[in-house]
Structure 1
């Protein structure tokens, strides 16, 4: 009996380890390697296009400011929405779509997938996808796990639900209390190339209070930076991602 228990525990540990393997792609020093070895997951698209994405909304206080800034710049983007945030203000998600932007799934709650089993993972993604689709009339086609921490269960669930997992090639570290528009701009452009995907945040529900202001302040310069280099800037739907 003890031998069986040990074997069962070993098997469970092995499955947990396999489930966690994709999470290695979220380790910051490995991000350049992820972009090179897993370009489809990283969000590498057409070389003359850059995908602009925002996580953690919608937020009634901050998201409209990003929508106005994007309108002023003439740019469309992808907003990865959290279900619990959307539940608070469904009309804002409809406005995002009405203004021509794409909506994707960021999960229901912003918790690491490593803390969830396969069933709770699927439930989280399904609840968020169904609410987004029911609210906006658009079925989300892309999924980004919280913190960029993917698990085998999350990747499988996303694909079963008709969504493609997409992370990023460049981020602004705009969630930090010390972030400024200059620091966000410098961090994003430090390794940004044509075909890249930018990660920013339009909400501070998981960030330092008002940290989103750093991303908002950097946005006009980022748009100008991309245009100066001849890169089209838009949502993931127009990014030319290769078939998975």
Structure 2
């Protein structure tokens, strides 16, 4: 009996973790392109995670204004609760707001009631505090497990990860390093992951993101690609 119960528990855990396979590059490229974030071949989707942050978000917003670019911001409910004015400012400046969960933590173990409760709370916070109904959900760390995936579907959110990143969360990141890391994947149809907050990253790492933005914008212009939010990315 104990062996059967143990096997059943392992089976539940494996089912819960199964959706995380979409993060694997071959699965992203061939089997889960919609979830990965592949879209319009003439466009790159620019996305930011972990805000809004009173230190990192305003200078990044100013830089995006200077570049004439709009983006999608995946917000943490706990951060938005502390800085609701920034959430409203994102929308007023023409950016798209999306859901990154309430807390930034991995959800490795099955807890469907908790997952639905927390994701609903985060979705309602984005809707109420920003004044815009979100379309997109991105799980923390890009680890999609069954509980949050089902909760997102139930709440009418589309899950999207990314196809390019700049490793801008590291202590040694610089503007040129962020761009150099992202550049091989900055091709048409890509979704780029950056961060406007260091709440789960190295202190002040958002400054590397800020310095990389003009380099990324120039790259897109040089290659005839538009750069903008997920709402313009035409994901099927």
What's the TM-score bracket when you normalise by the shorter of the two chains?
Answer: over 0.9
> Hey, what does 2:141 align to over in structure 1?
147
Counting only pairs closer than 5 Å after superposition, residues 135-214 of structure 1 correspond to structure 2 as 135-214=129-208
- Alpha-carbon shift at residue 55 of structure 1 (Å): 0.1
SS in 1 for 2:98: strand
Distance in 1 separating the partners of 2:132 and 2:197: 22
> Hey, what does 2:12 align to over in structure 1?
15
- Alpha-carbon shift at residue 194 of structure 1 (Å): 0.1
TM-score by length of 2: 0.97
The count of aligned residue pairs is 236
Deviations 1:114-166 (A, max 9, x none): 14511111112111000110111211110000000000111111011010000
> Hey, what does 1:80 align to over in structure 2?
74
Counting only pairs closer than 5 Å after superposition, residues 33-48 of structure 1 correspond to structure 2 as 33-48=27-42
CA RMSD of aligned residues (A): 1.1
- Alpha-carbon shift at residue 33 of structure 1 (Å): 4.1
Q: Which runs of 5+ in 2 are unaligned?
A: none
- Alpha-carbon shift at residue 9 of structure 1 (Å): 2.7
Distance in 1 separating the partners of 2:101 and 2:32: 22
Residues 1:132 and 2:126 are matched in the alignment:
yes
TM-score by length of 1: 0.94
Change (3 A) 1:63 1:116: farther
Q: 2:84 aligned to 68, 72, 90, which one?
A: 90
- Alpha-carbon shift at residue 10 of structure 1 (Å): 1.7
Residues 1:223 and 2:213 are matched in the alignment:
no
Instruction: Tell me which stretches of 4 or more aligned residues in structure 1 moved more than 6 Å.
Output: none
Cα contact 2:45–2:230 (8 A) shared by 1: yes
Distance in 1 separating the partners of 2:109 and 2:84: 28
> Hey, what does 2:107 align to over in structure 1?
113
SS in 2 for 1:241: coil
Deviations 1:140-196 (A, max 9, x none): 110000000000111111011010000000001000001111110011112221010
Distance in 2 separating the partners of 1:235 and 1:229: 18
Change (3 A) 1:116 1:180: farther
SS in 2 for 1:113: coil
Which has the higher mean CA deviation after the structures are superposed, 224-233 or 90-99? 224-233
